[in-house]
Amino acid sequence: MLKTTLLKATEASGKILQQYFDGPFEVSSKSTVNDLVTEVDKKSETAIIATIRENYPDHFILSEEVGEIKTSSSTKWIIDPIDGTVNYANGIPICCVSIGVEQDGEMILGAVYNPFMNELFVAEKGKGATLNNKPIHVSTKTEVAKSCLVTGFPYKWEEGTNNPAVVFERIIKQGIPVRRLGSAAIDLCWVACGRFDGFYEHHLQAWDAAAGFLIVEEAGGKVTDYSGNRYSPYQKELLATNGLIHSALQDLVNGK
């Protein structure tokens, strides 16, 4: 039932993303001038919440644009109505809807759907991860030096010894390819299906990674913060790998 609702909400959102992709639609700024929200994020969010509410009027909701809709329920839906909004606003079809379901503090279900590539990633706690219904697995590369990585950068710059530019420079100076797709949820799913061997980002929000981190774990990968603690969507740092390059990438990120 939860999964059926999750898939229905994902599909409803995907249709909206496709319908409005060619524009025109309103775009406005949030925390910084380039932290964008479009009219379509809001339409997608409304459709997702309406679908959830048909079956679960009392579930807790945490969604990027409306924030928290608090209830006493132990089931929480964590929603990014468009992950990759900057891409969407620029007509770049690397964007998706991402929805995770948390129960009693544990992520139990997640779905990420990029309607432009017709790729639906789904994971269920303990039952593996799939791409368009076919089981997926992380890559088997063992050397970070031969890996293909992906990262993202914040809209609001934070200085610091290991800021995103410093880490990026450290890795690319070793000649390691690092891509920047612009959607953390897709980055995670592409680690899960073995296209990337690792992903790191300094500052994510719960909705960016709630579904994707379960998809990576269920595909056999490892997701932690930069200190190696199991990832929680309620803190900012994320390091996701195939497991085999995890400690080597963690050392690179931390400058060790």
What six digits make up the tokens of 35? 């932290």
Shortest CA distance to 135 belongs to which of 220, 199, 195? 220
* Amino acid (one-letter) located at 63: S
Smallest distance from the beta carbon of 186 to ligand IPD, in angstroms?
Answer: 8
Stretch of residues binding ligand IPD (CB under 6 A), selected from 4-12, 42-50, 77-85, 140-148: 77-85
Residues whose CB falls within 8 Å of the CB of residue 136, separated by 6 or more in sequence, listed in order = 121, 129, 130, 192, 193, 194, 219
- Annotated binding residue at 92? no
Smallest distance from the beta carbon of 152 to ligand IPD, in angstroms?
Answer: 3
**Pairing mode, if any, of strands 222-224 and 67-69?**
unpaired
- Binding residue for ligand IPD, selected from 71, 154, 168, 178, defined by CB under 6 A: 154
- Whole-number Å distance between alpha carbons of 136 and 221: 11
- Residue 69 CA, distance from chain mean position: 21
- Binding residue for ligand IPD, selected from 152, 194, 198, 233, defined by CB under 6 A: 152
To which H or E segment does residue 42 belong? helix 39-55
Name residues contacting ligand IPD, limited to 175-194 (CB under 6 A): 182-184
- Binding residue for ligand IPD, selected from 208, 210, 233, 246, defined by CB under 6 A: 208
- Annotated binding residue at 80? yes
Closest-approach residue to ligand IPD (CB): 152
Q: How many CB atoms are closer than 10 A to CB 125?
A: 15
- Annotated binding residue at 64? yes
- Annotated binding residue at 41? no
Which residues contribute to the annotated binding site for Mg(2+)?
64, 80, 82-83, 208
Query: Which residues are at the interface with ligand IPD (CB under 6 A)?
Result: 64, 80, 83-86, 152-154, 182-184, 201, 204, 208
